[in-house]
Structure 1
Amino acid sequence: MKLSDEYDVANREKYRPSYHFTPVYGWMNDPN
């Protein structure tokens, strides 16, 4: 595994977003 300080900004997969949001706990659509 190679460590790097660079971020690959090229979106290599057609339908994969370049970034996504993840909550700290649980699901984003969880009302509780």
Structure 2
Amino acid sequence: MSKIKKTDMTSVSMEISDSTMTRHDVCERGYSC
């Protein structure tokens, strides 16, 4: 899984809202937060 750009966080946040993944999980997976 590659890291995402900060500019993409808005779209990613929407994806997270539709999933069971939490913000902490995103950070754990290596995404910027």
Taking structure 1 as the reference length, the TM-score comes to 0.19
Structure richer in helix, relative to its length: 2
Q: Which is greater in Rg? A: 1
Which structure has more relative contact order (CA 8 Å, sep 6+)? It is 2
